[in-house]
Structure 1
Amino acid sequence: MTGLPSPDPLKFAFTAKTSAHASRGGARPLALDDKDWQAWWQTATEAEERALYIHVPFCKKRCSFCNFFENGANPARMSRYMAALCDNLQQAAKTPFALSAPFSAVYVGGGTPTDMAVDDLARLAETIQGFPLTQDAELTLEGRLNGFDEPKWHTALAGGFNRFSFGVQSFDTQVRQQAARIDDRARLLERLAELTRYDEAVIVADLIFGLPDQDDAIWRQDIADVMASGVHGVDLYQLIAMAGTHLDRAESKGKPGWAADSQQRASMYAYGAHTLEQGGWQRLSCSHWRRSETEQSRYNQMAKRGAEILPFGAGAGGNVHGHGLMYGRDLAPWHQALADGRRAPGMVMGRNPNAAMDALLRGALDTGRLSLALLPDPLRGQLLPLFQVWQQYGLAALTAEWLELTLAGRFWSVNLQAGLFEYLQLNPLAGAGERGPHANAAAVRPVEIVGHSVTGLRR
């Protein structure tokens, strides 16, 4: 929960980052029949902000670090899927639930959505326009530069897409080949220059640090390349070792090639953050920077702070009427359910009574700054001991008004979020249906930290 005391918290506060996201958890699956499901779509939303997430689970090639690969990008299978998906979207767009409030962001993710055919892209764009969108709605298409040619680019623009997020990962040709990426450095830079020349839409690039064969010199060049590429925003993501990936299998055989350890990755993050900010780029979150205010990263921020996100497609996730929802990945039952007019198979979760506060905490820590005035007095008092230890360990700066993560805290932000939610689970506030602070006494032990004891803090 606290991290470890260290003279260099950036490198040693935690042993590793093991997850891309953190949540309190504890919600249980909800039994929901088709009648109740249909009733949800006849009920107006109570959400203050909403977005759509549309999943296209196809990829031309499986990257070495990815364990989300679902289906090869077979053109016939993709077109069949897109037809069913657009039919599903058209039906949903006409319901009282969808029409009851506008959507300010749409994210088409995957997979590799840019692998879809031009005609399918045009139909998807037209279908999205059937939903009530705010005048300044952010419409993002995710994918890769390879295969995203001029016809697709102009079709997407004409259809209303105004933001494109490309998984570059690294510009270095050798590192890219090791990661099973397709284009070389020269082609990536050429295509990004073409897409950003006239500022017709926001272009964002994702970079990963810690890839095999990506040493400090290559990472410095990656940062220089992305800053010179013309993109409006960049994400810096740490490579997370995931079971079931090609990289994991190669490592088990002793063949992954050289890769940076956790301490070197921390230095890579620090270099990227410092260099971007010294170059005038503004940090919007612990992992995202922009060079232009045209980049809002609206969908990502909405997702972090708990907006209602309607999911569509096999493998899509979101939340409806305050209930978490995740559709199954298998295409066959997904197609069959839609053909039969039934809800696609998946899991619906019960309501999280702490959803609003969890979203506030997660969203704030993702940006690196939490206003303590937003916390009810009892919760602020409950969390202060944890925040004080974070400050002692060099992970945060604490004032009467703010908790602000340091560079080290931002690097370990997801670990801190996970620790915070574990702390709240072990030490729930009394009242409002929650048990008292010592309800889990068997699971909570005092920890001596810098001269004083803090109940419930475990490293």
Structure 2
Amino acid sequence: MQWGVYIHIPFCRQKCFYCDFPSYAGREQQMKAYTEALCQEIAIQGLSYRQKWGRPATVYIGGGTPTALPAAYMTEILTAIAAHLGTDVPEFTVECNPGTVDRDYFKVLQAGGVNRLSFGVQSFNDKLLKRIGRIHSVEEAVAAVRAAQQAGFTNLSVDLMYGLPGQTLQDVADSIAQAQTLAVQHISIYGLQLEEGTVFARQESQGRLVLPADDETEAMYDYINEKLPQLGFARYEVSNFARPGKESRHNLGYWQDVPYLGLGAAAHSYLEGRRYENTADIAAYINRINTGASAGQLEEEPTPQHIMEEFAFLALRTAEGLSREKFAAKFNRELSEVYGRTMSDLEKKGLLTVDEKGCRLTAKGFKYGNWVFAEFLL
């Protein structure tokens, strides 16, 4: 059975100004206890699901900044994964901040079975990096990617952003050109979202955040979606582009109804049709694991309608789209019976392509994806 594992590392050196993820700076004193608790959860939960479903198809260690952990703690985690989830995982990804890795750290990751790295670069412009609170420089980002390649990694991804304060279309073009020069296999590129509780949200409420005008941000979006395919990166999801065969199998699983086990503070799981969430508080997480209690709890039981809606709009995030065959297999209903009128209306507006296989977003549909997804709410 295909399934994935997500492992959350909630530590970082500095909180980025746009980030609302469950991650914390200045918590180094908790790293040892957290690592021990996480390895214990891997041993209990990981082994249980491995015995049930076999070795996972994907493992993804994210954060936060996983590589903010000292190499010795990361080695403990990788050892626990190998012991309880299995070795030679087909796709094993670790997120890296370029300011926290070097050749020795890459050797640790490689020895632990990691075969894919995702670098949080965000921009190849030093002024922009400082403006958004990143701890690394362009030089460090370039050096980190090249060091990973020299260490033998052949499946590398970089994250970029657009719509940043002070950013121009030329900045976006330059970052894409630099990523192309580095010969990475995958690029994720996200538009800035102002999330409650972040530094940027506070600055915006105080009138101190100057963002590109809407037409400038739209020009960045258009450039990205025209240029990356020209460079050999096919768009396979709203924000993700890859060379052939280098799509993130783990992330595709989120959008294609694949079950996954979440381990660590704030990690989410999707198991046997139900969603679970671990406590986000690091101390509470450590205490629960150490006392033999479960770190997670069942989220609100979804209604059949909610399950159907989620299945539809998550599938529509991908280039493959919403499959008639998969929809019928899961719900024992025909796609057209439920969404026929919606699909027809959106097709007339140029937002969907509808055929015998199902429906997919057009280029225009990707641009107005959130509006399209809302139309699939029953």
Q: Same fold (TM over 0.5)?
A: yes
SS at match of 1:109: strand
Q: Which residue pairs with 1:456 in the alignment?
A: none
Of 385, 395, 410 in structure 1, the residue corresponding to residue 366 of structure 2 is 410
SS at match of 1:78: helix
Equivalent pair of 2:13/2:26 in contact (CA under 8 Å): yes
Q: Which residue pairs with 2:284 in the alignment?
A: 333
Q: Is the counterpart of residue 249 in structure 1 residue 202 in structure 2?
A: yes
Q: Which residue pairs with 2:353 in the alignment?
A: 397
* Cα distance change, pair 143–363 in 1 and its aligned pair in 2 (3 A): same
Equivalent pair of 1:79/1:117 in contact (CA under 8 Å): no
Measured in 1, the distance between the counterparts of 2:359 and 2:296 equals 42
Equivalent pair of 1:394/1:406 in contact (CA under 8 Å): yes
* CA deviation vs aligned residue, 1:80-139 (integer Å, no higher than 9, x gap): 2111111221233443x4311121111111111110011111111111112344855211
Q: Which residue pairs with 1:27 in the alignment?
A: none
Equivalent pair of 1:57/1:314 in contact (CA under 8 Å): yes
Q: Which residue pairs with 1:322 in the alignment?
A: 273
SS at match of 2:347: helix
* CA deviation vs aligned residue, 1:36-60 (integer Å, no higher than 9, x gap): xxxxxxxxxxxx4211111111111
Of 193, 208, 219 in structure 1, the residue corresponding to residue 146 of structure 2 is 193
Measured in 2, the distance between the counterparts of 1:261 and 1:231 equals 30
* CA deviation vs aligned residue, 1:413-457 (integer Å, no higher than 9, x gap): 24422331x2x2xxxxxxxxxxxxxxxxxxxxxxxxxxxxxxxxx
* CA deviation vs aligned residue, 1:261-305 (integer Å, no higher than 9, x gap): 444323212211211111222222222111353x23011011112
- Cα drift, residue 201 of structure 1: 3.8
Q: Which residue pairs with 1:115 in the alignment?
A: 68
Give TM-score, length-normalised by structure 1: 0.75
Measured in 2, the distance between the counterparts of 1:78 and 1:72 equals 11
- Cα drift, residue 148 of structure 1: 0.9
Of 321, 324, 337 in structure 2, the residue corresponding to residue 381 of structure 1 is 337
Long gaps (5+) in structure 2: none
- Cα drift, residue 346 of structure 1: 4.0
Q: Which residue pairs with 1:42 in the alignment?
A: none
* Cα distance change, pair 403–113 in 1 and its aligned pair in 2 (3 A): same
Q: Is the counterpart of residue 311 in structure 1 residue 311 in structure 2?
A: no
Q: Which residue pairs with 1:285 in the alignment?
A: 237
- Cα drift, residue 329 of structure 1: 1.0
- Cα drift, residue 320 of structure 1: 2.7
Measured in 2, the distance between the counterparts of 1:332 and 1:116 equals 17
Equivalent pair of 1:56/1:112 in contact (CA under 8 Å): yes
Q: Which residue pairs with 2:163 in the alignment?
A: 210
Range moving further from structure 2, 410-419 or 156-165? 410-419
SS at match of 1:234: strand
Name the one with the larger helix percent: 2
SS at match of 2:14: coil
Equivalent pair of 1:266/1:411 in contact (CA under 8 Å): no
Instruction: Give percent identity, aligned residues only.
Output: 26
Q: Which has the larger radius of gyration?
A: 1
Amino acid at match of 1:264: E
Equivalent pair of 1:207/1:234 in contact (CA under 8 Å): yes
Measured in 1, the distance between the counterparts of 2:281 and 2:99 equals 26
Give TM-score, length-normalised by structure 2: 0.91
Q: Which residue pairs with 2:50 in the alignment?
A: 98
Measured in 1, the distance between the counterparts of 2:276 and 2:130 equals 36
Equivalent pair of 1:305/1:359 in contact (CA under 8 Å): no
Long gaps (5+) in structure 1: 1-47, 425-459
RMSD across aligned positions (CA): 2.3
Measured in 2, the distance between the counterparts of 1:138 and 1:358 equals 29
SS at match of 1:130: helix
